[in-house]
Structure 1
Amino acid sequence: MDFAFDARTEELRTELLAFMDERIRPAEAIAHEQRARLADPWDTPAIVDELKAEARERGLWNLFLPDAEHGAGLTNLQYAPLAEITGRSPQLAPTALNCAAPDTGNMEVLAQFGSDEQKKRWLEPLLAGEIRSAFAMTEPEVASSDATNIRTRIDRDGDDYVINGRKWYISGAMNPDCRIFIVMGKTDPDGADPRRQQSMILVPRDTPGLTVERAMSVYGYEDHYHGGHAEVVFSDVRVPAANLIGEEGGGFAIAQARLGPGRIHHCMRLIGMAERAIELMCLRAVSRTAFGKPIAQQGVVQNWIADARVTVEQLRLLVLKTAWLMDTVGNRGAHTEIQAIKIATPRAVVDIIDSAVQLHGAGGVSQDFPLAELWAAARTLRLADGPDEVHQRSLARRELKKYR
């Protein structure tokens, strides 16, 4: 395994670091001020559109998509250090580069499984950053960590499908630019194979019967840049049969294909979030004095910083190994490592950010620093794309199988 950056990665990394320093970091405060003046809180601040246009001009666009026909054509190993850099400003940078969830996963689904018509109507404008999208899988009435529990129905009726169900924490749904939902539901609820009961289907935002009932907060934050999270009701929503993605019964497999890259992308960005927390810790430590000496000279603070650096280096190596395996043996061959990083990374990064909060005192929980929002985002990722316990269960079973 050689984790040295190749020439293209180094070139993009240099360009992206400059873009972060010159444009993204200064834009954080500007975006916050502009958002406070918006008539609709879910509208996009003007600075975001400016950043998107500049990122596209600089060639920092759709970096996440390995499909060279539609994206940058980078491998997972090439994309990893770039995604890490965007994680240092997780609300603004991924959006500016058109590399923000849930659009990234939805574009991957359409690129891999969509029909030519679906790609033309929905993938192309998503790739161009002209529209946003939502992914509707999680439901409030069942334990959605087990996808076979999903109750939403997708019933065939002549040349149409009719959708009925309730979803929540549907990322992207509050954004006024959200034009399309990818919805997962059951087309064969009584099928013998529980992993062949589900399908995925495209539902335009303006389809009658689709109602966005309310915004869902995450630890009190509304996550505007990702288009928020919503509770959505589908009541006799009728769409053409051509809107089905792939085949009936293929929804579970599509979900697994979507979530594999999504999990590693989250972990890549989490490392960037940890680096931002370490940076803030060090700046705070050298600038504050307590009990007669700089905080940086306090032993407990030095321990926090040292432990954080060791942890980040370990996590980065595991993520890079996982990216390398995904590139060389495929997602299935890297399944153990994908689950390992999904368990280890959010948990460790939460602890690092928590230490940074503690070091900042009252400032750490305030709006004057990004730490509270970073903590909320990292803590949420212990649930998103499958909670820790589901991955631990699967990983343990795989280990135990070797001895049976």
Structure 2
Amino acid sequence: MTLSSDSELAKVYGLSPVDLVPEVADEDLPLDQFIERKVDELLDLRLRSIDTWNKEMAIISELTCRRVQRQDIERRVLEALADRWNLSISQHHSGKRRNRHANQSREGEHQQMLIDGFLPWKRDALLFGPGGVGKTTAAVAMAWCVISGKSFLDYQIASDIKGKVLWIGSDGGDGAYEMWQNTAEDFGIANDPRWEKGCVFWGADQEAGTGAWSCSPSNLCELKEELESNDYALVVLDSWKAVLELAGIDFGIGPVGTVVRFLQALIGQHCSSLYLHHPSGNTKGKGISGAGGNQNVNQIPYAVHELRVEPSSEDRPKCVRWIAHKLRGYQSREFLYRLSDDGFQVVEGEVITNCADQLLITISDLEELGTATTSHAIKNMNSSIAPATVSNNLTTLRQRQFINKSGSSWHLTHRGKLAVNRMIK
């Protein structure tokens, strides 16, 4: 009897010759291949919706016995998942890095704003502050602005973008839904059809037998499918520590930076994201580092905002100080506000109104005269408008590609000239 070769068997059974090669035992693998195999096995387990904790811990034990640190295991699992989904979050890449020079912006690359002055479009923002300061209240108000198209707080400039909101309430167990619902009732929007249809809540549901959402691989897969099948404008995560802890990730030494970059890449393909964070200890006077603990939560996001309680005084009631520490393209600013019967009310600080059309006409007039089109000249021509309002409107016009800047001078783009022509006709 003549034995068939592997290639002949493969041909008969429609298999690849590789399929006929017996799998190498774990103990016979080089260390790098062993780690890669175990990470893939661990990821496959975590992508399942059933409880696989025992098997997961067995794999983790095998890896730690090979002196692989737990936080490195968790980081590598997330990176492996990102590789499967073609999300760029790690330093390794297969292609050659592309050199780019000035004035080589790609189509649609200019930064749009979902909520002017607060939330950039398809970028992430962190909102942090002590418990009870009003983070959930502020986030619900922002969600309503996204759904309704209204402006927010000190920026009275409505966005061109609006849409649905996915609210992930992982903090507070079953009580998260009630808190979210009560806040909407306080604003008088809970029964508004736009809110009912426009804001979707994810949270623990004991009756349905589902737990709170976390950033585990299986839950990330659920989020990916939801974003791909629905047209969301904003995802709210309440709160950072909850989604990390529920996934077994240590906020202090765990791969928090990897999680932030993963969510940036995943959610940013579709919409904006807002993370609510309750840092430990007193944050007053610490600035952006007041977010505490793992500094990746405030260093990586595109925007960082802080809320701080301001006690009442003789001339004003108790209110909240909003500090915009970081928002790329904008200057840092702060103002005071309070929740009144009519919604949020700015108590102290300049309210930025929309004077964009007036500024476009001013720049057009200055260009026709052949005189300077600097910020100083534009402000002098619009002395009735607060300087900060002029500056912020110029930033908005630049982001929307109506104007550009050369040195210290502003100039109308082709889009800006068309807008002016429409206004003066």
**Range class of TM-score, shorter chain:** under 0.3
TM-score, normalised on structure 1?
0.22
Q: Which has the higher helix share?
A: 1
Structure label with greater radius of gyration:
2
TM-score, normalised on structure 2?
0.22
